[in-house]
């Protein structure tokens, strides 16, 4: 069964600190993996997208990694800001890329 | 502001009823996606249209249907509503049909079924 798991479920950090969120997937065949940021009550915003051949992709303070062999991805946030408080969702596209499997998300809270 | 508009913002209705959610994609985008986000199931992909044609189907119930019109706006029809259909419904659009293309999400329609 195609599945995406994320850890931790929630995370609290202090402003300025770094953190890493994890995503494990059992989706086959793999097409691509995307990380979204979703503020409460709003639509998700794409942060990064990676295909099978990409190991790392950065978007400002956000850096995503992908290990296609172990089927794991991580999202590293550097020098966190209060505005980083949100849910971070990992999404894997399956088949010919037209089936999207969402993880449950990690709820990040950045405190002053 | 993503450029994707959804109406209405909120909708409250009763079980057994039928509702229509509307989405206007970003100018120039040909592909429209519908998603459901509920508290217990998270985000789920429902269906995708590209230039008026159905392109991909996800976990969409038979009671739900969608279409994309010649002007590229899309509607999601939900019928015989149940309490469990209460959720946020998002529409997203992208320029092309492939999953690698960035999707821009609208603000969502919050549906409450009483």
Residues 6+ apart with CB under 8 A from B43: A44, A89, A91, A102, B35, B36, B37, B90
How far is B54 from chain A, CA to nearest CA, in Å? 11
Residue A107 has pLDDT above 90, yes or no: yes
Q: What is the pLDDT of residue A97?
A: 52
Query: What's residue A98's pLDDT?
Result: 65
Cα A53 from Cα A82, distance rounded (Å): 33
Per residue in B5-33, pLDDT (tens digit) is: 999 999 999 999 999 999 999 999 999 99
Dihedral-angle region of residue B72 (phi above 0 means left; psi in -120 to 50 means alpha; beta otherwise): left
User: B34 contacts in A (CB within 8 Å)?
Assistant: none
pLDDT digits (tens, 9 = 90+) for A17-76: 999 999 999 988 888 999 999 999 899 999 999 988 899 999 999 999 999 999 999 999
Residue bearing the bigger pLDDT, B98 or A49: A49
Q: Residue B100: which of A41, A89, A97 has the nearest Cβ? A: A97
Residues of B in contact with A45 (CB under 8 A): 2, 105
- Asked whether the beta carbons of B107 and B23 are under 8 A apart, the reply is no
- Neighbour count for residue A96 (Cβ, 10 Å): 11
Report the distance separating Cα B31 and Cα A34, nearest Å: 18
Mean pLDDT is lowest, of A35-44, A57-66, B56-65, B95-104, for B95-104
The answer to whether residue B55 neighbours chain A at the CB level (below 8 Å) is yes
**Listed range (A37-51, B44-58, B97-111) with the worst mean pLDDT:** B97-111
> Where in chain A does DSSP place strands (E)?
3-7, 10-14, 19-26, 30-38, 45-51, 56-59, 62-67, 72-77, 86-94, 99-102, 106-111
Q: Nearest-CA neighbor of B14 among B96, B85, B90?
A: B85
Segment B83-92, tens digit of pLDDT: 999 999 999 9
Residue A102 has pLDDT above 90, yes or no: yes
Cα nearest neighbour of A48 on chain B: B102
What is the model's pLDDT at position A85? 97
């Amino acid at each position: 069964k195609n599945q995406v798991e994320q850890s931790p479920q929630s995370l609290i950090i202090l402003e300025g600190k770094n953190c890493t969120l994890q995503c494990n997937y059992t989706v086959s065949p793999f097409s691509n993996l995307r990380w979204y940021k979703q503020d409460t009550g709003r639509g998700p915003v794409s942060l990064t997208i990676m295909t099978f051949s990409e190991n790392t992709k950065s978007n400002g303070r956000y850096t995503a990694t992908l290990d296609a062999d172990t089927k794991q991805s991580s999202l590293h946030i550097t020098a966190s800001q209060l505005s980083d408080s949100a849910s971070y969702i990992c999404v894997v596209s399956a088949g010919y890329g037209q089936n999207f499997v969402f993880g449950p998300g990690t709820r990040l809270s950045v405190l002053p | 502001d993503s450029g994707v508009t959804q109406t209405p913002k909120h909708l409250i209705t009763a079980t057994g009823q039928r509702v229509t959610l509307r989405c206007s994609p970003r100018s120039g985008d040909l592909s429209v996606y519908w998603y459901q986000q509920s508290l217990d199931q998270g985000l789920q992909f429902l269906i995708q249209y590209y230039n008026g044609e159905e392109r991909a189907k996800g976990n969409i119930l038979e009671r739900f249907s969608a279409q994309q019109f010649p002007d590229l706006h899309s509607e999601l029809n939900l019928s015989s509503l149940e309490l469990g259909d209460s959720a946020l419904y998002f529409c997203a659009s992208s320029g092309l049909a492939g999953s690698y293309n960035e999707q821009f999400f609208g603000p969502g329609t919050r549906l409450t079924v009483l």
